[in-house]
Amino acid sequence: MKSLIYFLDDDPVDADLCATIVRSLGCEALIYQDVPALVAASQERAPDFVFLDEQTRGVNGLDLSRQFRELGLQDIKLVVMETPDPSGKSGKPSASQVVADARLEKPFGHQHVQSLLSHLRKGTLELRFWGVRGSIAAPGPSHDRYGGNTSCVTLRLAMDEYMIFDAGTGIREFGNFLIGLGRPVRLHLLISHAHWDHIQGLPFFRPAYLPQNTMTIYGPDQPESSFAQVIADQMQAVYFPVPLTAMQAQLHFQTLSEGSYTVAGHPVRTMPLHHPGSTLGYRVGVNGKSFVYACDNEIAPGDRALRQRLTDFGRDAHIMVADAQYVPGDFPAKTGWGHSSYTEVVDTALEARVRHLLLTHHDPDRNDDALDAIVEDARRRIAAQGSDMDCSAAAEGVVMYL
Ligand SMILES: [Zn+2]
Ligand SMILES: [Zn+2]
């Protein structure tokens, strides 16, 4: 398909190189050096995509997205071109990157652009990690690359509509980005269970306090309390200065148990996980693809039945995010604590023929180097079984497409 692409880049050599690549893919490319010229051209003839370099003076993706929206040009997809941090550390995403439809790392080649354009044309959904730490937030220099915030993953259904998995401390930063969008949002928050590390960020989630927003919170009842009550209880005066009733968004609660549901028009299946209290795993179908979120969950070493349950639930998933807090040496000391060794999770995902496994709920005492070692070993294990399954450790700021 021939697309019209505008580049916003004040480095003529660089812009020309990028434009040459997209032209070779059959796209039409025009280069603009400043925002007014780009916006005027877009009003005249709206492009399919705008590739912008944030190093260009006066360019801010967030502002540009706002301008497009005000001009009724919200269908233009924004791609932020970024130059990787020379320190090699994966930085936190900028506001523009969150608003953008995709990121493209410089230098890029034909293949990168081709696969990105095909993702965007197919309307693939963006999955983003805001918190990946298990049990308790654990910031610090040795945790910078993977991040210290507790569980929160988002799936963007539309510019103003998201599914959110868990409300750990990572949801605070997501809230700040939503505020930056400057428009009402529709949110579907799916909570796995009510342990602190999965709900603690909710009182700090600013969009929940704004009346123009709508948020439905889904989750399981707990043995001694209803789901809605548990969420309200953490905001009792003794724990937090502001009560749940201060949240001015249109809030709805829906209790889930094992079964099949529809959330925001998409099929969602739940599975009770093996974890203290009532905990649900989620499987979402979108655009013919499937996303599985299974956090927190213990597959005790050698327990075939527990493994089989997740295998069945995760069968053929395109992306599975699964609790892998422990290493084999943590057992048997931590048997019954409700978390899995990455080795069990990898073997389960292999049996389920998952395409891409993301290990998450990283132990607060496991530093970046230790997580690198886990990923390396997991990949060896996968290769040894002759599989080409992708495997990585979830990290804050990482974006994937579904
Ligand atoms: Zn947890
Ligand atoms: Zn838990």
* Protein residues near ligand 2, an ion, with CB under 5 A: 195, 296
| Cα–ligand 2 centroid distance for 187 (angstroms) | 23
Ligand 1 centroid to residue 197 C-alpha, Å: 5
Indicate which ligand has the atom closest to the C-alpha of 136.
1
- In which element (H, E) is residue 257 found? none
> Is residue 122's pLDDT more than 80?
no
SS3 185: coil
Alpha helices (runs of H) in 184-260, residue ranges in sequence order = 196-199, 227-233
Which listed ligand is nearest to 278 at the C-alpha? 2
User: How remote is the CA of residue 343 from the centroid of ligand 2, in Å?
Assistant: 20
Residue 151: name the closest of 344, 297, 309, 311 by CA. 297
Give the pLDDT band of residue 206 (cuts 50, 70, 90): very high
The alpha carbon of 362 is separated from its chain's Cα centroid by a whole number of angstroms, namely 16
> According to CATH, where is 3.60.15.10 located in the chain?
126-401
In sequence order, the 6+-apart residues with CB closer than 8 A to the CB of 373 are: none
For 346-391, write each residue's pLDDT tens digit.
Answer: 999 999 999 999 999 999 999 999 999 999 999 999 999 999 999 9
The pLDDT confidence band at residue 45, using thresholds 50, 70 and 90, is: very high
pLDDT for res 56: 80
Give the span between the Cα atoms of 176 and 185, in whole angstroms: 13
β-bridge partners, 214: 186, 250
Q: How far is the CA of 157 from the centre of ligand 1 (A)?
A: 25
Check: CATH 1.10.260.40 for 126-401?
A: no
Q: How many CB atoms lie within 10 A of CB 265?
A: 8
**What's the CA-to-centroid distance between 325 and ligand 1, angstroms?**
9
Residue pair 151/110 in contact by the 8 Å Cβ criterion: no
What is the Cβ-side half-sphere exposure of residue 306, based on CA atoms within 13 angstroms? 18
Check if the beta carbon of residue 360 is closer than 8 Å to that of residue 376. no
Are 151 and 198 within 8 A, CB to CB? Answer: yes
- What's the mean pLDDT when you consider all of the chain? 91
As annotated, the residues of the chain forming the CATH 3.40.50.2300 domain(s) are 4-121
Identify which ligand lies nearest to the alpha carbon of 166.
1
- Each residue's pLDDT tens digit, 162-176: 999 999 999 999 999
**Torsion angle, alpha carbons of 227, 229, 230, 232, to 10:** 130
DSSP 327-365: -GGGTTTTTTSS--BHHHHHHHHHHHT-SEEEEESB-TT
Q: In the structure encoding, which two tokens stand for residue 86, read together? A: 């020379």
Question: Angle CA(32)–CA(1)–CA(291) in degrees, nearest 5?
Answer: 100
Q: Which of 65, 49, 42 is nearest to 1 (CA)?
A: 49
Ligand closest to 279 (CA) is: 2
Q: Which two tokens stand for residue 266?
A: 């998409």
Determine whether domain 4-121 maps to CATH 3.10.105.10: no
Whether the pLDDT of residue 89 is over 70: the answer is no
Distance CA 337, CA 358 (A): 21
Sheet arrangement for strand 266-272: 260-263, 266-272, 280-286, 289-294, 319-323, 356-360, 390-393
Q: Is the pLDDT of residue 341 over 80?
A: yes
**Phi then psi dihedrals of residue 362, to 5 deg:** -60, 140
Phi and psi at residue 175, to the nearest 5°: -60, -40
pLDDT number for residue 158: 82
So what's the pLDDT on residue 26? Answer: 87
Per-residue pLDDT at 120: 79
